[in-house]
């Protein structure tokens, strides 16, 4: 049975339990648990004095910094709604989200000020406070309505005795099939959905009260992770795993700049004895492995786990990370809307390829809504039941489509089509909506993508359908190859043809240097389909 607790209440209690324990290391400073609580309390006072009240939203537009966690702590404590936003967005993208969520305050890094300055007045409407974190010299003159984050120093550290019970968290989806949508989580529901990740995954008892949470964190036998999120905190996996580390009384180590530098990451991991890395597949793991290979001392002896989600994490790259030490690689299948659904865990290169196994709460549903996860060979849609978000902000139709009551239980239906294997593991076939129907034959994009990725010069690939006058749809692919690679579409087509049935072979292959994935690992499929469709007369 789960519990309803606010992360802010937990962190406040832990600040009392071990005030001098390091909580956050980053931006050239170390914040203890007491220091983190004090800054969060000062910010909470500033926000309250400026008129923000429970239910108001506070957008966070910056890279991973201590102020990110201070803002999150302060907002949750006061019943405000934190809204993490991709710090790489341009003005038009940021404006669209601000007009959607209508925050009362925006906390932003000075390095993003040029984007802030370009915002139209419509996006600024309703924002009472623009709070600037000076990660660098602000370009241009500060606006009259902004103030430095350091203004919190003049305010008393006043956290409420208990966090407001009606707080929320907005997490925006990747937006690869349209404008990003805000998934609305109840603040008191967040911990419940993370209980397995925090406790069960490492063999700890599940707490039933705030006192239990504190007792477990104080127990000398509890592993206290030193966690370094290399993926941005606006990415749910990085955000939740960072928050979870602070529930166990661990320490969070942050990169010094927005730019990912694998050599710096390795140095920090060694200096602070990092035990857990949070990343986003090959995009981060590959350069990290390259940097380790070029280091005179590649080992990371204190590293015990690597957690990834939201992006392809290939077995060759996993094997290279396993060479860094005795560590577990946890490759999660999750979504902003719920889960996690499944995990592929390996403890050495010998475990690869690791089977993808369902996690508690995850089910496979057939076309009639019946659960078939215990039926070998069955195919169905991946779903999750348990503690779930309240839905999408301002979109009841999409909420009803994705969050469905099936046989008396509320589920989130991810849209991923899977097949149950004989050993109980599942195989991901692709998005149910993305299955290509060509001449009456179903082609699962994931299968074709894996075939393409098995070619030594292919680094990334996506597969989708394009309209075809004869077959209904034809299979198309966009492929990223290594720099200087000598490979053409005909070679790749023949490579797939040798591995899969002929009807699965892409009829159109576009070769590029990169797929331009978002920080959360998503590809803009609509754009790629438009671009390739323009080259096929029948697809126009």
User: Per this entry, what is the length of the chain?
Assistant: 540
What is the DSSP track for 123-144?
HHTT--EEEEE-SSPPSSPPPT
CA 114 to chain centre: 26
Cα(118)–Cα(95) distance, integer angstroms: 9
Structure tokens at 150: 């350091």
Exposed / middle / buried, residue 498 (Cβ in 10 Å: 0-12, 13-18, 19+)? exposed
pLDDT in tens, the chain (540 residues): 468 899 999 999 999 999 999 999 999 999 999 999 999 999 999 999 999 999 999 999 999 999 999 999 999 999 999 999 989 888 988 999 999 999 999 999 999 999 999 999 999 999 999 999 999 999 888 888 899 999 999 999 888 888 887 899 999 986 544 578 999 999 999 999 999 899 998 999 999 999 999 999 999 999 999 999 999 999 899 999 999 999 999 999 999 999 999 999 999 999 999 999 999 888 899 999 999 998 888 889 999 999 998 777 889 999 999 999 999 999 999 889 998 999 999 999 999 999 999 999 999 999 999 999 999 999 999 999 989 999 999 999 999 999 999 989 999 998 888 999 999 999 988 776 677 888 767 788 888 998 999 999 999 999 999 988 777 789 999 999 988 899 999 999 999 998 888 889 999 999 999 998 876 677 888 899 999 998 875 544
Topology classification of domain 7-207: Rossmann fold (3.40.50)
Positive/negative CA dihedral, 140, 142, 143, 149: positive
Structure tokens at 510: 């576009």
User: Where does CATH 3.40.50.980 sit in the chain?
Assistant: 7-207
Cα(167)–Cα(265) distance, integer angstroms: 34
461 and 469 in contact (C-beta within 8 Å)? no
What is the DSSP track for 482-531?
-TT----HHHHHHHHHTTS-GGGS-SEEEEES-----TTS---HHHHHHH
384 and 358 in contact (C-beta within 8 Å)? no
Burial of 260-290, coded b for 16+ CB within 10 Å and e otherwise, reads bebeebbebbbebebbbbbbbbbbbbbbbbe
Cα(217)–Cα(14) distance, integer angstroms: 8
Strand ranges (E), 40-135? 57-61, 81-84, 105-109, 129-133
Neighbours of 296 (CB within 10 A): 4
Q: Checking phi first, is residue 79 left (phi over 0); if not, alpha (psi -120 to 50) or beta?
A: left
pLDDT at 178: 55
User: Where does CATH 3.30.300.30 sit in the chain?
Assistant: 435-539
Q: Which CA distances in Å does 482 have to 64, 285, 313, 404, 521? A: 29, 16, 17, 42, 18
pLDDT at 540: 43
- The partner residues of 462 in beta bridges, in order of sequence, read 478
Cα(340)–Cα(351) distance, integer angstroms: 21
306 and 348 in contact (C-beta within 8 Å)? no
Cα(297)–Cα(152) distance, integer angstroms: 42
Neighbours of 335 (CB within 10 A): 21
Structure tokens at 36: 């983190």
CA 524 to chain centre: 17
The superfamily (CATH) of domain 435-539 is: ANL, C-terminal domain (3.30.300.30)
Positive/negative CA dihedral, 482, 485, 489, 495: negative
Task: Please state the pTM of the whole predicted model.
Answer: 0.85
Q: At what angle do helices 236-247 and 66-78 cross, to 10 degrees?
A: 80
17: nearest Cα among 39, 2, 32: 32
184: nearest Cα among 359, 395, 414, 332: 395
pLDDT at 519: 63
Structure tokens at 540: 């126009």
């Amino acid at each position: 049975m789960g519990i309803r607790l606010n992360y802010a209440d937990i962190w406040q209690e832990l600040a009392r339990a071990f005030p001098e324990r390091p909580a956050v290391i980053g931006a050239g400073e170390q914040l203890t648990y007491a220091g983190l609580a004090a800054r969060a309390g000062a910010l909470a006072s500033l926000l309250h004095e400026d008129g923000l009240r429970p239910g108001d939203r506070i957008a966070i537009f910056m890279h991973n910094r201590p102020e990110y966690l201070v803002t999150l702590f302060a907002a949750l404590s006061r019943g405000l709604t934190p809204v993490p936003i991709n710090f790489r967005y341009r003005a038009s993208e940021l404006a669209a989200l601000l007009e959607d969520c209508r925050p009362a305050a925006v906390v932003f890094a000075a390095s993003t000020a040029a984007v802030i300055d370009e915002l139209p007045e419509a996006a600024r409407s309703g924002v009472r406070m623009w709070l600037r974190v000076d990660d660098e010299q602000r370009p241009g003159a500060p606006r009259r309505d902004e103030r430095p984050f350091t203004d919190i120093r003049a305010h008393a550290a006043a956290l409420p005795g208990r966090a407001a019970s009606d707080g929320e968290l907005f997490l925006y989806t990747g937006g690869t099939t349209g404008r990003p949508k805000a998934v609305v989580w109840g603040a008191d529901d967040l911990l419940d959905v993370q209980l397995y990740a925090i406790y069960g995954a490492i063999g700890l008892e599940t707490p039933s009260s705030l006192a239990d949470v504190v007792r477990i964190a104080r127990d000398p036998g509890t592993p206290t992770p030193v966690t370094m999120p290399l993926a941005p905190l606006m990415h749910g996996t990085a955000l939740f795993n960072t928050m979870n580390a602070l529930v166990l009384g661990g320490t969070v180590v942050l990169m010094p700049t927005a730019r990912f530098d694998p050599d710096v990451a390795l140095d920090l991991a060694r200096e602070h004895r990092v035990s857990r890395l949070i990343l986003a597949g090959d995009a981060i793991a590959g350069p990290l492995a390259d940097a380790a290979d070029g280091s005179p001392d590649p080992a990371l002896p204190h590293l015990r786990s690597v957690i990834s989600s939201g992006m392809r994490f290939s077995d060759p790259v996993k094997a290279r990370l396993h060479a860094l030490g005795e560590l577990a690689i946890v490759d999660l299948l999750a979504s902003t809307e719920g889960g996690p659904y499944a995990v592929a865990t390996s403890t050495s290169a010998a475990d690869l390829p690791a089977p993808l196994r369902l996690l508690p709460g995850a089910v496979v549903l057939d076309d009639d809504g019946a659960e078939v996860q215990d039926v070998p060979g069955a195919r169905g849609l991946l779903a999750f039941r348990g503690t779930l978000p309240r839905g999408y902000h301002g979109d009841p139709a999409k909420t009803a489509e994705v969050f469905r009551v099936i046989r008396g239980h509320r589920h989130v239906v991810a849209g991923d089509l899977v097949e149950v294997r004989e050993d109980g593991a599942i195989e991901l076939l692709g998005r149910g909506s993305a299955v290509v129907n060509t001449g009456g034959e179903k082609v699962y994009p994931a299968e074709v993508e894996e075939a393409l990725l098995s070619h030594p010069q292919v680094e990334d690939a996506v597969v989708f359908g394009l309209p075809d006058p004869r077959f209904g749809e034809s299979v198309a692919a966009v492929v990223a190859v290594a720099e200087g690679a000598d490979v053409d579409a005909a070679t790749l087509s023949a490579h797939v043809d040798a591995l899969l049935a002929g009807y699965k072979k892409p009829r159109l292959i576009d070769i590029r240097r990169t797929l331009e994935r978002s920080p959360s690992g998503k590809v803009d499929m609509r754009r790629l389909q438009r671009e390739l469709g323009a080259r096929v007369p029948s697809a126009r």
